[in-house]
């Protein structure tokens, strides 16, 4: 697609439920990143994919968080047994190692997660 697409744009869930967030990167972008941004805060790195592998998942805050990427395209971030502190905007970005906009991170609009 023309840009990075994230779905849903908003998600309200009850504490303890599992949620799945989706990211469709720009076609051909090999690198994909997930970040968390709490209200009024900066970017918190969660995980980085190069192709379908995740060489750096050091930012995942707990074993309730997991992510996968398939076909060097779509990625899903899953949060199990959600807690109120998980409330935040989850941002996805993708980038390419070649071509126009090389190494530039293109961000989606984010998924706003609210745990009640």
Partner 1 sequence: AQSVTQLDSQVPVFEEAPVELRCNYSSSVSVYLFWYVQYPNQGLQLLLKYLSGSTLVESINGFEAEFNKSQTSFHLRKPSVHISDTAEYFCAVTLTGTGGFKTIFGAGTRLFVKA
Among 20, 43, 72, 73, which residue sits at the site for partner 1 (rule: CB under 8 A)? 43
Q: Is residue 95 involved in binding partner 1 (CB under 8 A)?
A: yes
Euclidean distance between CA atoms 104 and 106, whole angstroms = 6
Return the number of other C-beta atoms located less than 10 Å from residue 40's C-beta: 5
84-103 burial, b if ≥16 CB within 10 A, otherwise e? eebbbbbbbbbbbeeeeeee
Q: Is residue 100 involved in binding partner 1 (CB under 8 A)?
A: no
Among 28, 38, 56, 62, which residue sits at the site for partner 1 (rule: CB under 8 A)? 56
Shortest Å, Cβ 1 to partner 1: 15
Q: Is residue 72 involved in binding partner 1 (CB under 8 A)?
A: no
Shortest Å, Cβ 85 to partner 1: 18
Map tokens 């840009």 to a residue.
Answer: 3
Residue 33 — φ and ψ, nearest 5°?
A: -130, 145
Residues forming contacts to partner 1 in the complex (CB under 8 A) are 30-31, 33, 35, 41-43, 45, 48, 50, 55-56, 91, 93, 95, 97, 102-105, 107-110
């Amino acid at each position: 697609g023309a840009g990075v697409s994230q779905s849903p744009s908003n998600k309200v869930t009850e504490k303890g439920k599992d949620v799945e967030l989706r990211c469709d990167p720009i076609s051909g972008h090999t690198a994909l990143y997930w970040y968390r941004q709490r209200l009024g805060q900066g970017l918190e790195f969660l995980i980085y994919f190069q192709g379908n592998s995740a060489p750096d998942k050091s930012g995942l805050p707990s074993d309730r968080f997991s992510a996968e990427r398939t076909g060097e395209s779509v990625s899903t971030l899953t949060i199990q047994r959600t807690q109120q502190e998980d409330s935040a905007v989850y941002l996805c970005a993708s980038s390419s190692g070649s071509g126009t906009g090389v190494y530039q991170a293109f961000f989606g609009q984010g998924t706003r997660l609210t745990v009640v």
